[in-house]
Amino acid sequence: MKHKNGFLLIGSFCLGAVVTLLLSLIFPEKKSDSIISPSNYGEIASINQVYEALKSYHYFYEGDSQALIDGAISGMINALDDPHSTYFTMTDYENFVEHLEDTYSGIGCEVTTVNGYTMIVSPFPDSPADEAGILANDLVVEVDGENVVGQTLQEVTNKIKGPVNSTVTLGISRNDNPDLIYIEVTRKAIDQETVKSELITEEGQAIGYLQITTFGENTAQEFKTAIEELEGQGMTGLIVDLRNNSGGYLTSVVEMVDYILPPGKVITTIESRDGSSVSYETESEGKNYPVVTLINEGSASASEIFSAAMKEAGGYEVVGTTSYGKGTVQVSMPLDDHSSLKITTQVWKTPDNNWINEKGVTPTVEVEAPEFYNYYQVYLENGKELEFDQVNPAIANAQNILNTLGYSVDRTDGYFDDSTISAVKQFQKDNNIAETGIIDNKTASQLTLALRDKIRDKAFDTQFKKALEVLQNT
């Protein structure tokens, strides 16, 4: 492979995950000489004039000049209308560096900024966020009762993260519903396990299944090792699951595609603002068995490079729904005062020279996930139980879950009727819970766990089953 002399970030900001590799030598040694030139000195001077005027005359100025500087820089970043570019203050930067460790404390999800909202790109599989019922495209409106709309990505993530075993309650807007969903999440120490493998025997065929949760620094090697083990077990075809994988390192995805495709195939082309570009091409021998890639709306950046390369350069099938649509590349630039910029410096193109930004990668075989994938945990606000004659969005969700689990209810509009009582009682009986017909904390928890078990059961996974079918017919 070509051009492996650096790491570039092609994912969104991650709560506690490896997000970027700080690059040295980004700024020249004399930054003031390179930034301020005769052509732009007037612009810089006007910024200084505003700064001095606020310090000297603003009625509410309390002597915090660093706040003015931080605000000015943040304002410039915000003016770019680029949710993936961020300014970290000194304090924010210290918190950000914590995320570079292999193990971290957090809720485990990828986030970005959209129109002033912090949006969940995807929760990591089996993370606290995933277990709590947080979904891709959820908008974080409140954190522990505080409205965070309009706050910077770093400000919101700093409020969400915290010590192991502590809790945070997120007020979530989902599917433009005006009523917020309140989800309590217990923060945990999370290890970065990026590749999970399984050999599935189906109709005499040995199918390898790899779930890639993120493209970390060691993911390419984990990927290769897992494939070698599956090949040793007689694998004849491979499914690579990138659903809800929100990205990571460019070098990792390039190595992984190179390992699969034959030599001479373009993986991706990285383009700079000056018009220059670098294409990454495969050099390995590749694999001679069919490969199917699974994607959904939570698959972003590096996942999209992988799936687009498999589709366009490899001619392989991609199954699922259209991906997130992030076609930009970021680098992190440390500043002299220990603050930092993470800014978009390049864009990437698919092998067929398509730019998928805000469009996504379209699967070759489109399959929707089951409707119940969109349901979420039964959350009791302030521990208040749900019972007969109440009307509550949480009741509607519980009714949908009960129907999904085979406990029939007559309505799913959030009104707790007699049929809901009967269904709850039967569920409680089957799960050794006192048969009250009331949804208390224990019942709500068991409903959530039962739904999660069904979501994880591949027998109900329409997208996985289609990938398996496509692979068997290849």
Model pLDDT, residue 308: 98
Model pLDDT, residue 35: 42
265-278 per-position pLDDT tens digit: 999 999 999 999 99
Residue 246 in contact with residue 214, Cβ under 8 Å?
Answer: yes
DSSP designation for 362: P
User: Torsion angle, CA of 295/298/304/307, rounded to 10 degrees?
Assistant: -10
| Unique residue bearing structure tokens 């090792």 | 225
Average pLDDT over residues 397-413: 96
Residue 363 in contact with residue 51, Cβ under 8 Å?
Answer: no
CA distances for 381 relative to 66, 70, 297, 378, 428, angstroms: 39, 37, 29, 10, 20
116-133 per-position pLDDT tens digit: 889 887 788 888 998 888
Distance CA 244, CA 294 (A): 10
Decide if pLDDT at 3 tops 50: no
Average pLDDT over residues 168-195: 85
- 412 is written with which tokens? 């799913």
| Unique residue bearing structure tokens 């489109």 | 366
357-400 per-position pLDDT tens digit: 999 999 999 999 999 988 867 777 767 899 999 999 889 999 99
390 as an active site residue: the answer is: no
For the chain, the average pLDDT equals 86
Looking only at the bridges linking them, the beta strands covering 139-143 and 117-123 are antiparallel
301 as an active site residue: the answer is: yes
Q: Which of 245, 235, 380 is nearest to 305 (CA)?
A: 245
Of the candidates 122, 197, 301, 377, the residue annotated as catalytic is 301
246-265 per-position pLDDT tens digit: 888 899 999 999 999 999 99
Of the candidates 330, 332, 399, 428, the residue annotated as catalytic is 330
Model pLDDT, residue 8: 53
What is the maximum alpha-carbon separation in the chain? 80
233-242 per-position pLDDT tens digit: 999 999 999 9
User: Torsion angle, CA of 334/336/338/341, rounded to 10 degrees?
Assistant: -40
Distance CA 293, CA 263 (A): 20
Lowest mean pLDDT among 27-31, 38-42, 61-65, 399-403: 27-31
Model pLDDT, residue 70: 85
Distance CA 140, CA 108 (A): 14
The better pLDDT of the pair 200, 453 is held by 200
DSSP designation for 197: E
| H-state helical runs in 208-349 | 219-232, 250-260, 302-308
3-state SS assignment for residue 16: coil
Distance CA 390, CA 112 (A): 36
418-432 per-position pLDDT tens digit: 999 999 999 999 999
User: Torsion angle, CA of 313/316/319/321, rounded to 10 degrees?
Assistant: 10
How many helices and strands, by DSSP H and E, does the chain display? 13, 20
Rounded to 5 degrees, φ, ψ at 385 are -70, 155
- 295 is written with which tokens? 């994607």
399 as an active site residue: the answer is: no
Of the candidates 159, 188, 311, 326, the residue annotated as catalytic is 326
Tell me how far the alpha carbon of residue 81 is from its chain's centroid.
20
Stated pTM of the model = 0.77
3-state SS assignment for residue 6: coil
Burial degree of 305 (CB within 10 A; 0-12, 13-18, 19+): buried
Model pLDDT, residue 97: 52
Average pLDDT over residues 149-172: 89
CA distances for 58 relative to 44, 48, 64, angstroms: 20, 15, 12
Lowest mean pLDDT among 30-34, 134-138, 418-422: 30-34
Lowest mean pLDDT among 4-13, 285-294, 430-439: 4-13
Decide if pLDDT at 106 tops 80: yes
